[in-house]
Structure 1
Amino acid sequence: MKRIIQAFGYLGSTILTAALLSWICVFLINGLPGVYAWMALKFIIPMLGFVGVLLNIFLILVSIIKKNRISDKWMPLVLCTVLASHFFLTMNIIQLAYPVRIINVHPSVTVKWPFSEQAIVGWGGDSTDNNLPHATWPSERWAYDLVMEPYNTGSTSLEDYGIWKQKVLSPVSGTVIAAFDDESDIVPGTEKFISMEGNHVYLRIDATGTYLLLNHLKQDSVTVAVGDHVNAGEVLGHVGNSGSTSEPHLHIHHQRQDPTQTLLPILAEGLPLYFEDTNAKAMPLKGTEVTPMRNEP
């Protein structure tokens, strides 16, 4: 340990230890500790690395001015640069999915399609190829963004998007733990949102006790209230363009923790989410046209 401290300095050694422990939590422990460790790797470690880079550059410059030896300053600088490079994970320059294997994560849930008609998977699946940026975040590891034709039109008019104002049906039987629709729908392609999730309905699933989140609903469209029990197929609201969204779509994902009790929305453990009674695979990928094999009640 003394050799490591001598080679990298106290700051570099401390950040290195934190980074190694975080990676161990992510790969070997998983669960909520893995979630917090992943957030540390994406935010705290690169920030500390940048501080270390600046500090070591300063120390090198001081040593040069004082004509002192600088050979012992290069290793700490290199280490802090490597640690700061975790920033590439934060910005998805390195597109690494949150490293958990779907077969090892339980419980999964299989639900009904949330529409009475065909919709298209904008993002969905287990890999970053089909589900970026969702797959890079623990809480949204197997989230979906759903759209309808026409979509990705570039129009600033909400009416030009097929999914705008479409009814959202409850995919499961469960209890409403959150229902909010006071937020304004924003102009497509803008970033003038108030919250990340926008208008939403959150359900505690009867079968598993886990949680299903449906986001970006239309203002004043939610038809349920906290405490209501809903069955699969009942109307929850209508698709909008509220929250952090580039165009009207429905965001849906499954997680273990109660979203009303988490410190931040991203600090939760995402769980696998599958669909039944459709013409597509249970976990449809980006670009899949999904048609439900049921009638709206």
Structure 2
Amino acid sequence: MPFLGSAGMLISLVIIAINLSKGRRLAGRIITFGLCTIMALHLLLTLNIILMPYPAQVDRTKPAVTATWPLAGPTVVGWGGDSTHTNLPHVIWPSERWAYDLLMEPYSTGSTHFEDYGIWNQEVLAPVSGTVIAAYDAEPDIEPGSEDILSMEGNHVYLKMDETGTYLLLNHLRQNSVTVQVGDQVKPGDVLGRVGNSGSSSEPHLHIHHQRQNPLSTPHPILAEGLPLYFTGIDAEPMPEKGDIVLPLQ
């Protein structure tokens, strides 16, 4: 539908231009253009042509989850929050509407060496109690800044949460670092693996988000419904935003 809408937009613009040149009425053509724009909206969002969060309201989306912080040290929120200003790569997608990308100093160094990034090889801690439904770490980490992407999510651990029955996804883990297996029961603070640079990742970081649907049975990852994710036990707002420095409280 988005592609048909885009084609309709272009055709409508051509017809509107012709009608303008001939002095014809435009009301019907403008309505058609508006309908085609609505059809094309999601494509325009994902291409960043229209900068608008995927339609959802954090205070009306349930269930929300409050989790513990997945890293032990001071962390920089690379992307997070509820707006295009603080979370542009994520809020345009329904599945990643409230996702986070987490970093540690130093970051954005431009180096091609993993060890030049503070979050590289840091332990990833379970933020919630739940059951491991996916645990994968066979994918090689890619050189920072490269485009040698083998998958979107890379090495990962997915949890089905005891509290809500919804799902928490942690992506871009280091190859051969995952310490849990499918079926394991975990509680907050258990080690799941280590941060890497696998999948669609420009530099080592941890991606985490909450969604309603089981990621193993969803036809395509972006078709899931993203849900709010808050954090407790940190010296920051429960939903930290881009640029926030988060320190877990002891």
TM-score (norm 1): 0.75
SS state of the match for residue 83, structure 2? coil
Kindly indicate whether the alpha-carbon contact (under 8 Å) linking 1:50 and 1:80 is maintained by their aligned counterparts in 2. no
Higher normalized contact order (CA 8 Å, seq sep 6+, divided by chain length): 2
**What is the CA-CA distance between 1:126 and the residue it aligns to?**
1.0
**Partner in structure 1 of residue 248 of structure 2:** 292
1:132 to 72, 76, 88: 88
Opposite residue 179 of structure 2, the aligned amino acid is T
Kindly indicate whether the alpha-carbon contact (under 8 Å) linking 1:121 and 1:146 is maintained by their aligned counterparts in 2. yes
Partners of 1:73 and 1:95 in 2: how far apart? 27
**What is the CA-CA distance between 1:83 and the residue it aligns to?**
2.5
Partners of 1:51 and 1:70 in 2: how far apart? 24
Kindly indicate whether the alpha-carbon contact (under 8 Å) linking 1:121 and 1:286 is maintained by their aligned counterparts in 2. yes
When residues 78 and 248 of structure 1 are mapped into structure 2, their CA distance, relative to the original with a 3 A threshold, is same
**What is the CA-CA distance between 1:54 and the residue it aligns to?**
6.9
Kindly indicate whether the alpha-carbon contact (under 8 Å) linking 1:56 and 1:73 is maintained by their aligned counterparts in 2. no
When residues 193 and 270 of structure 1 are mapped into structure 2, their CA distance, relative to the original with a 3 A threshold, is same
Partners of 1:168 and 1:57 in 2: how far apart? 51
Does residue 188 of structure 1 match 2:144?
Answer: yes
**Partner in structure 1 of residue 32 of structure 2:** 79
Partners of 2:133 and 2:229 in 1: how far apart? 19
When residues 189 and 72 of structure 1 are mapped into structure 2, their CA distance, relative to the original with a 3 A threshold, is same
Say which structure is richer in helix: 1
SS state of the match for residue 176, structure 1? strand
1:121 to 77, 96, 108: 77
Kindly indicate whether the alpha-carbon contact (under 8 Å) linking 1:147 and 1:163 is maintained by their aligned counterparts in 2. yes
**Partner in structure 1 of residue 228 of structure 2:** 272
Partners of 1:163 and 1:203 in 2: how far apart? 22
Kindly indicate whether the alpha-carbon contact (under 8 Å) linking 2:46 and 2:92 is maintained by their aligned counterparts in 1. no
When residues 219 and 104 of structure 1 are mapped into structure 2, their CA distance, relative to the original with a 3 A threshold, is same
When residues 250 and 72 of structure 1 are mapped into structure 2, their CA distance, relative to the original with a 3 A threshold, is same
**Partner in structure 2 of residue 231 of structure 1:** 187
Opposite residue 140 of structure 2, the aligned amino acid is S
Opposite residue 120 of structure 1, the aligned amino acid is V
Give the alignment of 1:59-78 within 5 angstroms: none
- Superimposed CA distance per residue, residues 85-140 of structure 1 (whole angstroms, 9 cap, x where no aligned partner): 74532311221001211111111111111111111100011111111121111111
Partners of 2:113 and 2:210 in 1: how far apart? 30
- Superimposed CA distance per residue, residues 198-237 of structure 1 (whole angstroms, 9 cap, x where no aligned partner): 0000001111111100000000000000000011101000
1:201 to 157, 181, 186: 157
Partners of 1:70 and 1:78 in 2: how far apart? 18
Opposite residue 47 of structure 2, the aligned amino acid is M
Kindly indicate whether the alpha-carbon contact (under 8 Å) linking 1:153 and 1:161 is maintained by their aligned counterparts in 2. yes
Give the % identical residues. 59
Does residue 254 of structure 1 match 2:207?
Answer: no
Opposite residue 134 of structure 1, the aligned amino acid is H
Partners of 2:6 and 2:132 in 1: how far apart? 43
TM-score (norm 2): 0.88
When residues 76 and 49 of structure 1 are mapped into structure 2, their CA distance, relative to the original with a 3 A threshold, is farther
Task: Flag structure 2 segments of 5+ consecutive residues without an equivalent.
Answer: 17-21
Give the aligned CA root-mean-square deviation in angstroms.
Answer: 2.5
**What is the CA-CA distance between 1:155 and the residue it aligns to?**
1.1
- Superimposed CA distance per residue, residues 21-65 of structure 1 (whole angstroms, 9 cap, x where no aligned partner): xxxxxxxxxxxxxxxxxxxxxxx33x21344467779999xxxxx
SS state of the match for residue 223, structure 1? coil
Equivalent residues, number: 243
**Partner in structure 1 of residue 201 of structure 2:** 245
